[in-house]
Structure 1
Amino acid sequence: MSSAGRVPQGLRRVYLNVRPERLGVLIGEGGKTLRDLENRTQTIVSVDSLNSSVVIEAATPETPIEMVLRASDFIKAIDAGFSPERALRLLDEDMVLIIINLKEVIGDSQSHLYRVKARVIGEEGKVRTNIEQLTGTYISVYDDLVAIIGDYEGAYLAREAIEMLIQGREHSTVYRFLNKKVRELKRKRLTEYWKKDFSTKEVKS
């Protein structure tokens, strides 16, 4: 039997650290969230509550490497503040997770961190909601992280907008940028759809 698509021996196990307060969210009531993740990804997930660590293993030799990596992304998303319901979107093959570590970008100043997070969230969460709606993504601002779940183009567009806010750009400037990019993205997708539809009709004729 071919080994293509299986987890290489060196990648059959992934180790992660999870914030202690997020372990309960990962496990779920009666272990339901963890069992659901294992069933969906064909993995075995072991949680060490004392050390706040997690080990992900392929449940069988046939478990695809993509499943191990998606389980890893799910757990990273939980650690970054997402609900299990939103994190489960990462099990879809066209979804990606992007995490921005704010301390790596702006340093350890708590006052600066607070200001940057406030800029990304906005009053009553309006800025975050606007970016989510424009890019079709989910955004979590938790501890020193900003995390994004979405399709490739939407997630990277949201990241670019958030990086502009971190750099101090005006919200109005960021919204103009997003609206322009979203229009360009819609035109691109529409053009691709037309080309695909036209090619299909040519083949049928």
Structure 2
Amino acid sequence: MLDYTFHWRPALRALPEMLSGALVTLEIAVLSMILGTIAGVLLALARQSGNRLLSGFATGWIELARNTPALLQVYMAYFGLGSIGIFLDSYLSVLLGIAFNNAGYLAETFRGAMRAIPHTQVRAARSLGMGSAKAFRLIVLPQMFRIAFYPMTNQMVWAILMTSIGVIVGLDTDLTGVTQELNVRTFRTFEYFAIAAVLYYLIAKLVTVSARLMAWRLFRY
């Protein structure tokens, strides 16, 4: 027989506290995407360069990011760097761990997007007197982001969900961390984590819908 009695009222009273944690979750995800996007573009360029050192470095980063668990990457930022005297708090460790992972996946997305752009466009830009850097900035980069926009949206949703692993390294200010603290104080596990699941779902749907609206606004023509 199920003898668990649900108490939703105390859980709902904690909603403002959980919403505050949800904002931290979104903040980490957004910052990790910004860092991951910047690093991903640089890695994609390095991977395509003729420089063996740069290409090898980029390949190593991408292979590690894509073929090892994200939790391990957060552990390395939190515990691994600490073992060599570089101490990061849980917030920064989660941010850098997820950004490292984002960069690896986005680098391959960007590389594929760049290869989809006809090289004749770059040659045409160079024939008009543009330098290689200007041609990349004005011709390649906008088209690359357009092609990669929807995969980037998926990566953003992934980053939001992966912030939950921060509780493993002591992060208690994000949505999962706040929910866990409430659970420890009240032992109302189902109620609090059910609300957290709904909030994660709503955040992910908000990102998806916002991305569709942005795509409609930016890519109508």
Question: How does the TM-score come out when normalised to structure 2?
Answer: 0.27
Question: How does the TM-score come out when normalised to structure 1?
Answer: 0.29
The answer to which structure has the higher helix fraction is 2
Q: Larger radius of gyration, structure 1 or 2? A: 2
